[in-house]
Structure 1
Amino acid sequence: MSVSAVPSRDDPLFEEMFRPVTKTYRSQTYAAIDPTLPKLSNRGKTAVVAGAGSGIGAACALSLAKSGVAAIALLARTESALNQTKSSIEALGLGTKLFVYAVDIAGTAAVLNQALADFAAAAGKDKEGKVDILVASAGIMPDIVSIQDAEADEWWRGFEVNVRGRFNLLRAFAPVVADGGVVVHITTAALHMAYMPGFSCYRASNSAATKMFEYFGNEHPGLRVVQVHPGLIRSPMSLKFAAGAEGLPWTDVELSGDFVNWATSSEAAFLKDRFVHVNWDVEELLQRKADVEKDPFLFTVTLKGWA
C-alpha cells in the first residue's frame, strides 16, 4: 500500500481526520471516564460484546466489568481468544459472570440468535430475561487495494461481516434488549473523510453499517444508539496500513474501552443517535449538551446543505 493512503501531518486530510470538536484531543484514558466512578456505574446490568476476542472489543468488556456489569456475553469467532479476554476479566476479581460464545456473526443467524437468547435466559433472570447493553465491535478490514485490483470474494467479505454480520447482531439483540437499553456501534471516522486510496470496501461497508445502526435507533426510539470512532488503534487490522501511519496520533485501546463505558452511562444520554470520537474530551462534550439537544444534525453523518 502507498504511504499516501494515510495522511501525513502535512496533508490537509490530517486535520480532517484528527481535529477534535473539543479543544482537547485525548489519546489515553483519563479520570473523567474512569469506569469505577460511581456516576458511571453499570452495576447489576448485563451486556453483550461482539468482537470481544481482542483489541477494542476486549477493552470494552474489561471496562464494562470494572463499571460493575453483572454478566457479559463475550462473542467472537475464536474461542481461545475469547478465553484470554475471559481470564483478563476474571483476574480483576470482581465476580463478573462471563459467558463465551464462539460464533461468526456473519454466519448462520440462528446460531447467533440462540446464543443471545441463551445468555438472556441465563444472565438476565433478575431483569426478566433482558439485556441492557450491546457493544458491536466485530468487524474486518479487507485488503487495501483499488476496486479493480481487489479479489472479489475478499472485497465482498467485508460487507458480509461489517454489514450482514452486524445486521444479524441487531436482529438477535432486539428480542432480548431491556427497556432503555444502550447500543454502541464501533465504526470509523474514515467514512466521512475525503478519498483515501485502497479503502473502498472498509469505508463503504462501514458507511452502510453506520446508516443501518442509525435506522435501528429510529426504529427503536426507547433505546439509545451511539456510534463511536475508537481512534487509531494499533492492532492486527492496523498492520495493513501502519507503514503509512507512523507519526500519527495513535490511541491507547484502554481509552476506547473506557469511553464506550462512559457512552453507556446516564451522563452520556444526550448522545442518543449521535456519532462521536473517543478522542473528544467528555467534559468539554458535556459543555455542549445544550447545543446537541437543540441541533438534531450535530454529530451525525448527514448531508447538511449543498455546496
Structure 2
Amino acid sequence: MDTVKSIVDRATGGESATAAPGGETASKGEFAKPGDFPIESQVDRAVGIQDDMTKKPSPATLQEGDEDFTQYKAAKKLLGKKTIVTGGDSGIGRAAAVMFAMEGADVALVYLPEEQKDAEKSKQLIVQAGGQCLLFPQDIRDEQGCKRVIDSVVQAWGKIDVLVNNASVMYSIPDITDITTEQFDRTIKTNIYGTFFMTRAAVPHIPKGGSIIVTASQVAYAGPPMLVDYSMTKGAQVAMVRCLSNQLLSKGIRVNAVCPGPVWTPLQPAAMSEDQMKEWHNSPAPIGRIGQPSELGPAYVFLASQDASFISGQSIHVNGGAIVAG
C-alpha cells in the first residue's frame, strides 16, 4: 500500500527539482505554424502522446505573424504559489504548467501512466523555468487515487493555491449508435467524475485567494454532431463552475473555466482518424487558423493570479474569434 511519503518520494525523484529559469528549449522548426499542422492520427491508442507528434504543440512560444515565434514574457504573478495541473503532461495542460513555473509557481502534474514520457518533458520545462515539479501518474477516475495525490501535494508543499482540472478524454463519433457504453463510461468518468474527485479532495487545502480553473470547451455551446458525449461533459463542467463559484466565494476561492476552440494538442490525433483530422484542419477558427496551447496558457495565468480577483463563475473563451452565448 502506497503511503503519502512514498508517493512524494517517487514524485520528486528523490531530489529537489529546481534550476535556473530558462524556458523551453525546442527549436522553432519543431513547432507547427499556421497551415503547417500535419495530418496524423493516433486514434489506435488509448491516449495521445505529444512526444510522438510530427510537429509539436508549443507550450510557451506565442505566434507573431505566420512565421515568427516570441517567448512568453513572465512577470512573477504566481510567485510562491503551489499548483496542480491534471493532464499537465502535454497540450494545454503543459502550456499552463510551464507558464505557471515561469511566473514563479511550483507545479504538480497528474497524468496517465502511459503519458510518462510526455510528463518527464513537461517536468524538464518546468524545472528550466525555475519551478519545482512533482509527477503523479494517476488515472483521475480513481477516487482514492485522487485523494492520495492531493494528500501528497499537501504533505510536500503545505497547501494548494491553484487547481487546474484540465485532463479529459474525447472521441469523435459521428453516429450516436456507434458510441459504445465503454467509451461513454470512460468519457463521463474522466471528464466529470475526475474533475469532481480532484476538486472535492483539494478544496479543504485551498486558502483564501486560491483559484480553481476547469478546462471546459467551446463545444459546450456549439454542439458539434460528432462529439455528443464529450460535449455533454463540457456543459456539465461549465455548470459545475457556476455552482461551485457561488458555493466557494464565501471562502475566498474563485472558480472559473477556460473554453478553448480548435487547438493543436495530442487530444485531436488521439480522437480522430486521418480523414477526420483533414476535415478538422479545413475548419479553422474564424481567425483563420488553429491555435497553439501557448495561446491558451496566458488565460490560465490570468485566472490563477490576483489580476482576476474580481472574476469568478465565468467562462473565458479562447477560441480564435468564435461567437458563443455564455
Which bracket does the TM-score occupy, shorter chain normalised?
A: 0.7 to 0.9
Could you tell me the TM-score, scaled by structure 1's length? 0.74
The residue type equivalent to 1:223 in the other structure is: I
Aligned to 2:98: 62
1:101 aligns with 2:126: no
Which structure is higher in RCO with an 8 Å CA cutoff and minimum separation 6? 1
The residue type equivalent to 1:141 in the other structure is: M
Aligned to 1:37: 75
Return closer, same or farther for 1:170/1:242 CA change in 2, 3 Å cut-off.
same
Deviations 1:25-49 (A, max 9, x none): xx9468xx955125xx110111011
Aligned to 2:301: 261
Q: Distance in 1 between the 2:159 and 2:217 partners?
A: 29
Aligned to 2:291: 251
Return closer, same or farther for 1:208/1:279 CA change in 2, 3 Å cut-off.
closer
Of the three residues 309, 315, 324, the one matched with 1:275 is: 315
1:232 aligns with 2:267: no
1:279 deviation in Å?
A: 4.7
1:119 aligns with 2:153: yes
Q: RMSD between aligned alpha carbons? A: 2.4
1:153 deviation in Å?
A: 1.1
Residue 310 of structure 2 aligns to a residue whose secondary structure is helix
Aligned to 2:204: 175
The residue type equivalent to 1:84 in the other structure is: K
Q: Distance in 2 between the 1:238 and 1:139 partners?
A: 12
Runs of 4+ in 1 over 6 A off after TM superposition: none
1:278 deviation in Å?
A: 2.5
Given that 1:50 and 1:57 are in contact with CA atoms closer than 8 Å, whether structure 2 keeps it comes out as yes
Deviations 1:64-100 (A, max 9, x none): 000011x2111111233322210122233x1x11111
Alignment of 1:202-221 (within 5 A): 202-221=230-249
Return closer, same or farther for 1:260/1:225 CA change in 2, 3 Å cut-off.
same
The residue type equivalent to 1:160 in the other structure is: K
Could you list the runs of 5+ residues in structure 2 that have no partner in the other structure? Answer: 1-60, 65-70
Number of residue-to-residue matches in the alignment: 245
Return closer, same or farther for 1:142/1:167 CA change in 2, 3 Å cut-off.
same
Question: Matched residues, percent identical?
Answer: 23
Q: Distance in 1 between the 2:162 and 2:100 partners?
A: 10
The residue type equivalent to 2:215 in the other structure is: I
Residue 207 of structure 2 aligns to a residue whose secondary structure is strand
Could you list the runs of 5+ residues in structure 1 that have no partner in the other structure? Answer: 1-26, 124-128, 282-298, 302-307
Return closer, same or farther for 1:199/1:142 CA change in 2, 3 Å cut-off.
same
1:223 aligns with 2:261: no
